Amino acid sequence: MIMRIKLVELREIRLGLVHFFETSFGRTTERRIILVRVVCEDESEGWGECTAGEGPFYSEEWTETAWHTIKNFLAPVVVRRDFESAAFVSDLMRRVRGHRMAKAAIETACWDLEARRADLPLWKHLGGVRAELPCGVSIGIQDSVEALLEKIERELSAGYQRIKIKIKPGWDLKILESVRERFPRIQLMADANSAYTLADVPLFRAMDEFDLMMIEQPLAHDDIMDHARLQAEIRTPLCLDESIRSMRDARHALDVNACRIINIKLGRVGGHAAAREVEAEARTRNVPVWCGGMLESGIGRAHNIAMSTLAGFTLPGDVSASARYWDEDIIDPPVTVTERGTIHAPEGPGLGFEIKRGRIDSLTVRLEEIRAR
């Protein structure tokens, strides 16, 4: 089926988080989220979300660069060129280097559109194999250890299968020790968001005592080789997040044993087609992957759910219930988690959730339409 996009609708919404989220690179209290709607001649549509943050801290991209890149370079390409399948949309945008989160917003919207037109749930259209996903939570840096322990307690009683805590210098070994003392047997991991260097090898050696499932992205955001050196020094598996932007990065990292697990994020790799490539590369090498999160609204969350149904996603992801982030989500029903700590992939076409247009309109702070002519 040839797809001809007549309109790309670009909008920014503001959404306040229920609770601030703090990582080694900073604290977020309100999201500035770009949503993309692609529309065909027959009025069929698809929705995507840009996962860029409010500043260039997790990666170079942020809300403003994504807005301008989509508006000036990416949307004009997809409204001018027909394509045979959503699988080719990232090729159309190849002339633009980097800006993967901006690209993913459009590319994932095209996948939703294509799945809706085929009357298939997106996860089945992508080749997903499981209808129920294991879920974990990512818990940010808190104001006190007590607050952290309380949060963990709450998430465990909600059923979540593994706990990830954020670490940074000064909030690491002692915190992990307290968490392990209180919860000796839970599946536990730590995410450093690039806050350390090879000078910290002794610190990571000491973490081997805590039986962590993995340590996520301890070293530089664009590094692979130093992670390989660190991995050779410790027993705990390393997991790469920031460093893996493509299937080639995954291949390089696995070739040199820089990690034993990969976190896949749709925005970071540039969309569903690229995510599938990373997943396939890891799966052929028996390396497990899981789906990371970027504090997404319901639309990005629904895309994460679809991606997580692929065969290689065997570990619990950072995909959790809408209510952990928002008083009211922009999809209906909101994402919920079973008492076993799982999410059911929806059966409806495309993303499988209703898009709450009225709510989205009321949250919109700017809107732009890009048409072929």
Nearer Cβ to ligand OSB (113/142):
142
Residues that bind ligand OSB (CB under 6 A): 23, 58, 138, 191, 193, 241, 292-295, 318
Catalytic residues: 166, 265
Residue 338 CB, nearest distance to ligand OSB (Å)? Answer: 18
Closest to ligand OSB by CB, 289 or 295: 295
Segment interacting with Mg ion, rule: CB under 5 A, options 6-14, 30-38, 233-241, 270-278: 233-241
DSSP 345: P
Instruction: Provide, rounded to whole angstroms, the least separation between the CB of residue 308 and ligand OSB.
Output: 13
Tokens of 19: 């609770």
H helical segments located in 291-353: 298-307
Choice between 23 and 309, CB closer to ligand OSB: 23
SS (H, E, C) 223-271: CCHHHHHHHHHCCCCEEECCCCCCHHHHHHHHHCCCCCEEEECHHHHCC
Q: Which does 223 bind (CB under 5 to 8 A by kind): ligand OSB, Mg ion, none?
A: none
Please state the closest distance from residue 251 (CB atom) to ligand OSB, in A.
22
Q: Is 22 in the site for Mg ion (CB under 5 A)?
A: no
| Binding partner selected for residue 112 from Mg ion, ligand OSB, none, CB under the kind-specific 5 to 8 Å limit | none
> Angle formed by the axes of helices 272-284 and 247-255, to 10°?
20
Two tokens, residue 205: 């050696």
Please, which contacts does 68-72 make with residues 24 or more away whose CB atoms are closer than 8 Å?
69/96, 69/99, 69/102, 70/8, 70/10, 70/34, 70/36, 70/102, 70/105, 70/106, 71/10, 71/368, 71/370
Which two structure tokens, joined as six digits, stand for 182?
Answer: 């209180």
279 binds, among Mg ion, ligand OSB, none (CB under 5 to 8 A by kind): none
In 179-237 the beta strands, taken as DSSP E runs, fall at: 187-191, 215-216
Q: How far is the CB of 118 from ligand OSB (least distance, A)?
A: 29
182, 175 Cβ separation under 8 angstroms = no
**CA angle at residue 162 from 160 to 163, to 5 degrees?**
100
Residue list 274-333, contact with Mg ion (CB under 5 A): none
If the CB atoms of residues 270 and 292 are measured against ligand OSB, the closer one turns out to be 292
Q: Which of residues 162-221 bind Mg ion (CB under 5 A)?
A: 191, 216
**Cβ–Cβ contacts within 10 Å for residue 1, how many?**
7
241 binds Mg ion (CB under 5 A): yes
The H or E element spanning position 19 is strand 5-23
Residue whose beta carbon is closest to ligand OSB: 293
Selection from Mg ion, ligand OSB, none that 138 binds (CB < 5 to 8 A by kind) is ligand OSB
Least separation, in Å, of the C-beta of 191 and Mg ion?
4
Q: Which residues bind Mg ion (CB under 5 A)?
A: 191, 216, 241
